[in-house]
């Protein structure tokens, strides 16, 4: 009788361990972020970005903190979905305790791309991955942190490579070839993140660039530029093909596309989120704008006078400034993405 009870207890204990291991399989423990301003939570130097100036951060955390919005950005909502706290921005690592690093790290820099964009002060994605590699070599993060547990990488690519290409005199005729180069380099970066041992990788599709306020301003924020969105569609097609090939090559470190194009388009067309909780009456019009074409959100003159205006209710605007969503805008996008995220990560 005693042996039977002992055997039963052992079986129950073994079953509990198995259940815990199965649950751990889909329990994200660390998030590593790479990319640009859609994901940056404070890496760009204060001297280089308006994200450190008022009125950025006015909704969250209540003051400018390096996010290119009035509040939370894609990284914050993605981390929330993974049931993690937003990882520390790489630039501030030395100022926080080791305990703050347990959720991973954010290496994204606003204005950056897969290639060099606007100078050495904005590390491209290859350099961002180098930062993680160095931290692994320095045992700040171990191979076990990445390989044994469920680490996740978020890669944001919002179009800075294309803006820099055109600003440097690149031609429209050669743009398709350059798009191929961007996707090829992105694939190189994804493969490298895989080799570091990250368990799962989420990469953004390109949002509808032709719908950004810096473009729709020409139509008084009434309509998107379909020609630009056509080029975006080509980028996203090549991205989809590349990700399918990556996932067919191996079952390790599966790659998932965060479909920003569809989610942005859906929210803009519906003038709100899928749940009907958020409403954007003029979705293409930004909340914070410069008083004229020579100024932008956050600009002040030599006397400190504001050279911008802010809408009465940021929660009623999808876009915050000329290219970035508000916190409410990102929440609407997140609500649209959440079902597909749940399928990929198998979270309830």
Selected catalytic residue, list 69, 199, 323, 324: 324
Compute the distance between CA of residue 313 and CA of residue 330 in angstroms, rounded to an integer: 15
Selected catalytic residue, list 36, 76, 161, 321: 321
CB 70 within 8 A of CB 56: yes
The H-or-E segment that residue 345 falls in is helix 327-345
The H-or-E segment that residue 8 falls in is helix 2-25
Contacts of 119 (CB under 8 A, 6+ apart): none
- The DSSP code for 206 is P
Percentage helix, strand, coil, to 5, in the chain? 45, 10, 40
- The DSSP code for 37 is T
Contacts of 75 (CB under 8 A, 6+ apart): 31, 33, 39, 40, 41, 86, 87, 106, 108, 154, 156
Active site annotation includes 235: no
Compute the distance between CA of residue 208 and CA of residue 216 in angstroms, rounded to an integer: 11
Compute the distance between CA of residue 47 and CA of residue 122 in angstroms, rounded to an integer: 12
Selected catalytic residue, list 36, 37, 156, 263: 37
Active site annotation includes 324: yes
- Cite the active site residues: 37, 321, 324
């Amino acid at each position: 009788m005693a042996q039977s009870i002992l055997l039963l207890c052992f079986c129950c204990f073994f079953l509990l361990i198995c259940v815990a291991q199965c649950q751990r399989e889909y329990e994200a423990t660390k998030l590593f972020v790479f990319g640009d301003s859609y994901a940056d939570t404070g890496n760009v130097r204060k001297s280089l970005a308006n994200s450190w100036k008022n009125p950025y951060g006015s909704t969250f955390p209540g003051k400018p903190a390096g996010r290119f919005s009035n509040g939370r950005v894609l990284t914050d909502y993605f981390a929330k979905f993974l049931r993690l706290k937003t990882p520390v921005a790489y630039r501030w690592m030395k100022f926080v305790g080791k305990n703050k690093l347990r959720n991973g790290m954010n290496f994204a820099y606003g204005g950056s791309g897969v290639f060099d964009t606007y100078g050495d002060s904005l590390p491209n994605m290859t350099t961002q991955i180098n930062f993680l590699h160095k931290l692994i070599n320095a045992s700040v993060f171990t191979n076990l942190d990445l390989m044994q547990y469920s680490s996740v990488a978020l890669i944001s690519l919002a179009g800075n490579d294309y803006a820099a290409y055109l600003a440097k005199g690149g031609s429209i005729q050669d743009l398709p070839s350059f798009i191929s180069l961007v996707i090829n380099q992105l694939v190189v970066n994804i493969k490298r993140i895989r080799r570091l041992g990250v368990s799962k990788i989420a990469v953004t599709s390109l949002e509808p660039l032709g719908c950004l306020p810096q473009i729709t301003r020409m139509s008084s924020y009434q309509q998107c530029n379909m020609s630009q969105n056509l080029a975006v569609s080509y980028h996203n097609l090549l991205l989809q093909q590349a990700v399918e090939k990556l996932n067919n090559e191996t079952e390790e470190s599966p790659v998932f596309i965060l479909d920003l194009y569809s989610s942005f388009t859906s929210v803009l067309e519906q003038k709100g989120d899928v749940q009907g909780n958020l409403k954007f009456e003029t979705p293409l019009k930004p909340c914070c704008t410069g008083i004229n074409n020579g100024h932008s959100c956050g600009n002040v003159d030599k006397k400190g006078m504001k050279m911008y205006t802010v809408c009465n209710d940021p929660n009623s605007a999808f876009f915050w400034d000329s290219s970035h969503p508000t916190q409410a805008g990102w929440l609407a996008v997140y609500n649209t993405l959440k079902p597909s995220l749940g399928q990929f990560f198998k979270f309830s």
